[in-house]
């Protein structure tokens, strides 16, 4: 029945599917594969699943590829917070690009520059007795060909200070790696919150 619908109605119907369902539909037959790979269907799915700040974006390789790249970056960003929760310096070392130009700014305002210095800053963080349990909100992602960044608001233990966080990634040798992390304390009613190094 869907095969008999005009393309605009098919695209609208497909916009109600999630990522996995759209991929599964593309494996049923050649007509459904064409419909499920329609750029407008992936654009609609992108705007449903991610931020609407991308209205001015025209992805070079189409919305399906842009959706996949954005999902990949969001997964990387989630992995970053899992590494912090687990306090795994080894995982953090693999997560960053090993380069002199990587940078990390913790809420204390101190700038750590260069791979080795950045890793030392994370080792200090992980030596704290206090655990880190972040609740992340308002995530916005932008992906370019070989660079992506994520901005978000994060709460530490939900009763702690809120932070503004920006994570920047670069694409190297087939994978995304972090090159910049900036975490700063949010101002509430003009007052600084307690500083926590993350």
Per-residue pLDDT of 30-76, as tens digits, reads 777 777 777 888 888 888 888 656 567 788 888 889 998 999 999 99
CA distances to 41, 44, 87, 108, 125 from 129, rounded to whole Å, are: 48, 45, 11, 18, 9
Q: What is the CA radius of gyration of the chain?
A: 20
Query: Domain for residue 20, yes or no?
Result: yes
Find the domain containing 19 and state its range: 1-49
Residue 30 DSSP code: H
At 96 the pLDDT is 98
Q: Is 118 within 8 Å of 126 (Cβ atoms)?
A: no
**Percent of the chain at pLDDT above 90?**
39
At 192 the pLDDT is 47
The whole-number average pLDDT for the span 171-191 is: 84
Q: Do 100 and 168 sit in the same domain of this protein?
A: yes
- The total of structural domains in the chain comes to 2
Q: Do 77 and 129 sit in the same domain of this protein?
A: yes
The predicted model scores a pTM of 0.80
Q: Is 142 exposed, middle or buried (0-12, 13-18, 19+ CB in 10 A)?
A: middle
Confidence tier at 198 by pLDDT (50, 70, 90): very low
Query: Domain for residue 55, yes or no?
Result: no
Query: Domain for residue 95, yes or no?
Result: yes
CATH code for the domain of 155? 3.10.450.50
Q: Do 42 and 81 sit in the same domain of this protein?
A: no
Query: Domain for residue 77, yes or no?
Result: yes
Query: Domain for residue 42, yes or no?
Result: yes
Residue 161 DSSP code: -
Q: Which range has the worst mean pLDDT, 22-31, 49-58, 69-78, 183-192? A: 183-192
Query: Domain for residue 58, yes or no?
Result: no
Q: Do 156 and 81 sit in the same domain of this protein?
A: yes
Query: Domain for residue 59, yes or no?
Result: no
Of 19-28, 35-44, 82-91, 160-169, the range with the highest mean pLDDT is 82-91
Q: Do 76 and 36 sit in the same domain of this protein?
A: no
Q: In what order do the strands lie in the sheet with 162-172?
A: 111-113, 103-105, 175-185, 162-172, 147-156, 134-143
Q: Do 25 and 119 sit in the same domain of this protein?
A: no
Q: Note the pLDDT tens digit of each residue in 86-119.
A: 999 999 999 999 999 999 999 888 999 999 999 9
């Amino acid at each position: 029945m869907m095969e008999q619908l005009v393309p605009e109605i098919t695209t609208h119907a497909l916009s109600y599917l999630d990522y996995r369902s759209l991929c599964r539909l593309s494996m049923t037959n050649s007509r459904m594969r064409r419909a499920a790979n329609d750029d407008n269907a992936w654009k609609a799915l992108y705007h449903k699943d991610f931020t609407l700040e991308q209205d001015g974006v025209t992805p070079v390789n189409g919305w399906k590829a842009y959706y996949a790249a954005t999902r990949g970056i969001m997964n990387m960003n989630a992995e970053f917070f899992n590494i912090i929760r687990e306090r795994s310096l080894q995982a953090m070392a693999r997560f960053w690009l090993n380069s002199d130009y990587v940078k990390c700014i913790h809420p204390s305002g101190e700038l750590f520059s260069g791979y080795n210095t950045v890793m030392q800053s994370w080792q200090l963080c992980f030596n704290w007795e206090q655990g880190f349990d972040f609740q992340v909100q308002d995530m916005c992602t932008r992906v370019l060909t070989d660079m992506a960044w994520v901005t978000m608001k994060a709460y530490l233990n939900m009763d702690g200070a809120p932070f503004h966080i920006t994570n920047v990634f670069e694409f190297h040798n087939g994978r995304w790696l972090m090159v910049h992390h900036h975490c700063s304390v949010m101002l509430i009613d003009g007052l600084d919150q307690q500083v926590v190094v993350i």
